[in-house]
A and B are shown apart, each in its own frame.
Chain A
Amino acid sequence: GENVEQHPSTLSVQEGDSAVIKCTYSDSASNYFPWYKQELGKRPQLIIDIRSNVGEKKDQRIAVTLNKTAKHFSLHITETQPEDSAVYFCAASSGGGSNYKLTFGKGTLLTVNP
């Protein structure tokens, strides 16, 4: 089955700096890669996603890049703010048919220091 590795496990940056979180996946059939933000005790919230027919996607301060050949994808947050502090999870899915299950990475605790 799919295996998703995520690095780093913790990341501390100064407000205004950029943050980059990287994930690799093992199943070449995976074609959908969402990123979720989870604040303490809360539900995972989708912040951005990318499909395998696209190499990059941007939404304001957040961008995701995908390298299908190398089987890795990354989350980039620019101009970080203290409210960006949370755990970020990457995930992969080979969705289709009757199943779109997500396989998650282990998460990155991002701390943005004021």
Chain B
Amino acid sequence: EPEVTQTPSHQVTQMGQEVILRCVPISNHLYFYWYRQILGQKVEFLVSFYNNEISEKSEIFDDQFSVERPDGSNFTLKIRSTKLEDSAMYFCASIEGSGQETQYFGPGTRLLVL
């Protein structure tokens, strides 16, 4: 069964550094998402992406965040200047669309900002 994949599984970075989290959604899916989960807390929506543009973003998704689908397979989340509070698990998810709403999550990238 196809799965959403994410790399890296873990990333440690210094405050102020840029990080890029990578995701490969399921190949025939059309809607893409990033969520984050701070340790012990609920999953929070960051951004949705459809038809090569952002369709919605949350208050968390400020100017330090950006998303890109540079080719037909990858979907990336960039944090330009990381802060301590960006430490979290970041999940990518995708949906097929066309009436199919089931959202499939990737395994996550655990980001630790020191």
Residue of A nearest to B92 (CB): A43
Q: Which of B27-43 contact A (CB under 8 A)?
A: 31, 33, 35, 41-43
Question: Known contacts being A43-B107, A99-B55, A100-B48, is A34 close to B102, with CB within 8 Å?
Answer: yes
Total contacting residues, chain A, CB less than 8 A: 24
B101 CB–A CB distance under 8 Å: yes
- B residues engaging A (CB < 8 A)? 31, 33, 35, 41-45, 48, 50-51, 55-56, 91, 95, 97, 101-108
30 A-B interface contacts by CB (under 8 A): A32-B101, A34-B102, A34-B103, A42-B107, A43-B91, A43-B105, A43-B106, A43-B107, A44-B43, A44-B91, A49-B102, A91-B43, A93-B101, A95-B101, A97-B55, A98-B50, A98-B51, A99-B31, A99-B50, A100-B31, A100-B97, A100-B101, A100-B103, A102-B35, A102-B45, A104-B42, A104-B44, A106-B41, A106-B42, A107-B42
